[in-house]
Amino acid sequence: MRILLAEDDDVLSDGISQALRQSGFAVDQVLSGLDADHALTQAPYDLVVLDLGLPQMDGLEVLKRLRSRGEPTPVIILTAREGLKNRVTGLDIGADDYLTKPFDLPELEARIRALLRRGNWGNSIEITYGPIRFDTVGRRVLVHDQPFELSARELSLLETLLQRVGRIVTKENLAEHLYGWEDEFSHNTIEVNMHRLRKKLEPVGINVRTIRGLGYLLENPTT
């Protein structure tokens, strides 16, 4: 899952991005509203964490422009404690949630997971595929009710495939959603990580097909 973090406080931005990356998210950081608006026109994001007090263009204007383009991307706005009017305005023009500063990182992560779960899984807290159970709250995998060890990148690949069971997932789609600006990326990188994921899935009877020239397919378990 790829997140855009628009926060002009360097220390806070770095702290949030580090925590999210440790949880397996790809994070792009911007420090101004203009940069946030530009980023949102250049790449698809699964979620935006948007400070309202951004320089050059405030967060409310960034949000207005995003919604005017018809983009349904979930947005969590960050506001100062005294900014009630802006919080209300933000929710009215399309924000999905908000947090007041200061806040605890675990709460922000929980709100991010909740919004992604609502958008990607229909608010289901658990997804079953054959012997696999994917916990959408804790973002962990169980196989035959036992913890199944995956790297953060492998988990993100499996998560994306599970969201699109029965549909081909292109390398371009994987690149857009799983890799941020700072990540080293190439099509070969995806192939290597997919190979590692396959090696772990094959012993439990799960096969990810390569559709030559198109991408990857996790078939419906009933087929």
Q: Are 73 and 46 in contact (CB under 8 A)?
A: yes
Predicted pLDDT of residue 182: 67
Residue 11 shares a structural domain with residue 115: yes
Predicted pLDDT of residue 4: 97
Could you report the per-residue pLDDT of 36-65, keeping only the tens digit for each?
Answer: 999 999 988 999 999 999 999 999 999 999
Residue 133 shares a structural domain with residue 70: no
Residue 145 shares a structural domain with residue 85: no
Q: How distant, in Å, are the alpha carbons of 20, 91, 158, 175, 197 from that of 148?
A: 21, 39, 12, 24, 11
Predicted pLDDT of residue 223: 47
Q: Are 75 and 66 in contact (CB under 8 A)?
A: yes
Residue 130 shares a structural domain with residue 97: no
Q: What is the pTM of this model?
A: 0.78
Strands 140-143 and 146-147: antiparallel
**210 - beta bridge partners?**
216
Q: Are 129 and 102 in contact (CB under 8 A)?
A: no
The boundaries of the domain holding residue 191 are: 126-218
CATH number for 186: 1.10.10.10
Residue 113 shares a structural domain with residue 147: no
Can you list the residues of the chain whose pLDDT is less than 70? Answer: 81-83, 123, 182-187, 222-223
Q: How distant, in Å, are the alpha carbons of 130, 131, 198 from that of 201?
A: 11, 10, 5
Predicted pLDDT of residue 184: 65
Give the CA diameter of the chain: 55
The verdict on residue 223 lying in a domain is no
CATH number for 91: 3.40.50.2300
Residue 132 shares a structural domain with residue 212: yes
Q: How many domains would you assign to the chain? A: 2
Could you report the per-residue pLDDT of 83-99, keeping only the tens digit for each?
Answer: 678 778 888 999 999 99
**26 - beta bridge partners?**
2
Q: How distant, in Å, are the alpha carbons of 53, 143, 203 from that of 73?
A: 20, 31, 37
